[in-house]
Amino acid sequence: MEQSLALLGLNHKSAPLDIRERLALLSASELAKRIKAEGTKEAAVLSTCNRFEVYFMPAGEAVETVGNRITALLEQISGAALSRYAYRFGGEDAVKHLFEVSSGLDSLVVGESEILGQVKDAYETARAADMTGKYFNVLFQRALYVGKKVRSETGVAIGQTSVASVSVQLAHTIFGGLQGATALVVGAGSMAETTARHLISQKILRLTVVNRTWEKARALAAQFLAEAVPWDSLPSALERADIVIASTSAERPILTREMIQEAAKTRQGRSLFILDIAMPRNVEEGAHGIDHVYVYRLEDLESVVADNMKKRGVELDRARGIVSEKVREFGLWEKSLGSGREASFKHSDIQEPSRIS
């Protein structure tokens, strides 16, 4: 019987959180040894909080039989009924799945790069436990290579698809690095908080909070380890800010054109990025016309999000194209193993590490 790769797994789409959590707790190296005892020639366990997958090659018995035994073993250890949530792939489909996983195409946040490191860990753990042979060595090295290639040649990871992350991305196109930037939150609200949190994750220099109600400003500031300033100081806070998040429930614009013009004068041409995410608007429309002032309203940000969603479709197609091409290549290599003359992979398409732009 011809040897073939098999996969048994579950992920964030197929299984509920509590089931995934129970599996995530298991020790991968411990599991590896026990899976080997179930009649596999080579095996690796990929375990993250969003997925649990066992890749294996049966030692002689039918894939089905070995797969059932592994499921039974996992159910016994975890105490959860897994067969309802698990998917099984064999042969080329299993290879394709692994390449998609390493490329971030099967991730919750599509294109995220953490998974690449997790695939690498899974491989290294298996190798350390002496559970990989030639087939798995080549398979996993190819998976890592494909993951890198997809990330460097397609934009799967760059199209941001939330208002907060688009705001941060736009801030980068204006200021570059945000390490020296000061952000000002005017008002409160969950979207303002999320955006502020995203900015903080970019290691901004300073965050200032201002609110008509001093207590609210203080509370929000405390939450972010930021500085609260009284409402009267809004104009001077505006002068110091590079990024302003306006999110008050005021009926009329609280940031008037005149006020922003005054602040802009003292800024000597340094850009001022204002996010007006309030409904109704907090920023007078004319303000966008001032030199070096960029006012993005909620609808502008949402249209960028919608655009990115669309573009991401194209990038996903390109990524899938690369994956299928590499799966086909791997299939050729696999066939050549049986013929006694092993094919080699093209290395001409291996790129240098991508350059920073």
Partner 1 sequence: MNYEVVFLKGALAFYALATAAAFVYLYNKDDKWSSWMFRLVGVGLALHLVSFGFGMHYFWKIPDNRYYFPINSFFGALSFLSLATVAVFFLIESRHQLGILGAFVLPWAVVGTGSAIIFANPAAEGLVPALQNYWINIHPVVLMTAYAAFGNAFGVGVALLIQEHQIKSRKPSELCYRLPSIEDLDDLNYRIIVWAFPVLTVGIIMGGIWAYSAWGRFWGWDPKETWALITALVYAGYLHMRFVKGWRGKKAVYVSMLGFACVLFTFLGVNYLSPLHGYLSGGG
Token reading at 144: 């890592």
Distance in Å, CB of 150 to partner 1, minimum: 12
d(CA 128, CA 117): 16
From candidates 271, 305, 329, 331, binder to partner 1 by CB under 8 A? 271
Output the CA–CA distances (angstroms, integers) from residue 345 to 141, 327, 352, in the order listed: 12, 12, 17
311, 328, 338, 343: which one binds partner 1 (CB under 8 A): 311
Please indicate whether residue 123 is annotated as part of the active site. no
13 or 270: CB nearest partner 1: 270
265 binds partner 1 (CB under 8 A): no
Residue 300 interacting with partner 1 (CB under 8 A): yes
Q: By CB under 8 A, tell whether 275 contacts partner 1.
A: no
Q: What is the C-alpha to C-alpha distance for residues 153 and 100, in angstroms, rounded to an integer? A: 15
For residue 9, the cross-strand partners are 53, 87
- In the region spanning residues 123 to 162, those forming contacts with partner 1, defined by CB under 8 A, are 152-153, 155, 158
Work out how close the CB of 200 gets to partner 1 at its nearest, in angstroms, rounded to a whole number: 19
| Cβ proximity to partner 1, 78 vs 202, nearer residue | 202
* Smallest distance, partner 1 to C-beta of residue 187, A: 22
Residues 70 and 77: their CA atoms lie apart, in Å, by: 11
Q: Which residues of 282-293 are buried (b: 16+ CB within 10 A; e: fewer)?
A: bbbeebbebeeb
Check: CB of residue 277 under 8 Å from CB of residue 246. Answer: yes
Footprint of partner 1 on 165-204 (CB under 8 A): 169-170, 172-176
Place of tokens 């294109």: 111
Helix, strand or coil, per DSSP, at residue 59 = coil
Q: How far apart are CA 45 and CA 24, in angstroms?
A: 11
Catalytic residue, candidates 17, 25, 37, 49: 49
Smallest gap from Cβ 181 to partner 1, in A, equals 10
Residues that bind partner 1 (CB under 8 A): 152-153, 155, 158, 169-170, 172-176, 268-271, 288, 291-292, 294, 296-297, 300, 303-304, 311, 351-352, 354-357
Residues carrying an active site annotation: 49
